[in-house]
Amino acid sequence: MQDYIVSMDLGSNSFRVLKYDCINNQELGEYEKVVATADGLSQSGNISDEAIQRITSAIQESIQKLEFDPTKAICITTAAMRKANNSQDVLNIIEKETGAKFKIIDGDKEAELTLLAIKEAIKRHGFDNKKFLFVDIGGASSELVIVQNDKVFKKSFDFGIVTMSQSLNPDISLENAKNDILNFIQGIDLKDFGFYATAGTPTTLAAIKQGLNYHTYDKHKINGTLISREDLKYYLELFCTLSQEDASTLVGSRKIEFVIMGVKIFDVFYDTLGFENSVVFDDGLKEGIVLDALLMVNG
């Protein structure tokens, strides 16, 4: 085994990489870029040529920045590739141009790996890890995981910030999302549970609340940030009135309509789950991939 692990998470909106030192148990570096894999997927059923170009460029940039062998990286991709008609062709192009061989995982596996990362984050911050739930709002799917002692209930929902933004009727899609969540949690008493959130929308809100923006983002400062439902209302109004220049400063290359939809989806989770506050962590799938690899090596 090499001295480091590299995990690559090609999501439906973002591409994230983590390089981890296995000997000293510490992060060596990370990379993140918005690639909007799912942009146009709802309409065409395919990953676009433009998205493929964004993805391959980001992978090549990450290899240059973090200095690793892409053929030895653990490369995972999720909902957009699960849905796309041309996913295998796209993955073949990516491997040919970058050397990175991606594996498509299902929603259950995605939730399972992210759970490893969230559990570690909860432990790191000294929060109760006996009863909690978390949401991971992605570009083409959203995961909800409920942990009650040794019991784990997990569900990957077929909606995300990109695909819902580009659906024929986003308002109806949001209402359908609400019903899907309610059906899943039926019969589960969530009283006294901790509520956590990860992925681009929650971390963007946490960063702004901490006085940061896209260019000054620091995961160590946003980890553990409390986001209230009132915060969601405030930021939704803010995002709807931002100039293009101000939006670029706050959220970078993320399309503001995707961020707005992310806040709306986040609010649907607050509403249906019955919470007024959540705690945000940057930790997600890329950390979960590393933790899973370490568990397999160390037993």
CATH number reported for the structural domain that contains residue 146 in this entry: 3.30.420.150
Tens of pLDDT along 90-122? 999 999 999 999 999 998 999 999 999 999 999
- Specify the pTM: 0.91
CA angle 69, 72, 73 (to 5 degrees): 90
- Residue 32 structural domain: 4-105
**298 or 115: whose pLDDT is higher?**
115
Tokens of 48: 């676009």
The mean pLDDT value for 177-191 works out to: 94
Percent of the chain at pLDDT > 90 equals 76
Task: Mark whether 77 and 116 lie in a shared domain.
Answer: no
- The rounded percent of the chain whose pLDDT value lies above 70 is 98
Segment 56-76 mean pLDDT = 97
Question: Strands across the sheet with 74-77, in order?
Answer: 26-34, 14-21, 4-10, 74-77, 102-104
Domain identity same for 28 and 165: no
What span, in angstroms and rounded, lies between the C-alpha atoms of 107 and 142?
Answer: 9
Distance CA 292, CA 270 (A): 29
CATH number at residue 75: 3.30.420.40
- Per residue in 237-281, pLDDT (tens digit) is 999 898 888 888 888 766 888 899 999 999 999 999 999 999 999
Q: Is residue 86 part of a domain?
A: yes
Confidence check: pLDDT of 1 > 80: no
Is there a domain that residue 291 lies in? no
Query: What are 139-156's pLDDT values in tens digits?
Result: 889 999 999 988 999 999
Q: Which of 56, 72, 105 is the last residue of a domain?
A: 105
Is residue 299 in some structural domain?
no
| 42 or 113, which is more confident | 113
Residue 253's pLDDT is: 66
Q: What is the DSSP letter of 151?
A: E
Task: Give me the phi and psi of 9, to 5 degrees please.
Answer: -115, 105
Give the whole-angstrom CA distance, residue 206 versus residue 223: 8
228 shares its domain with 183: yes
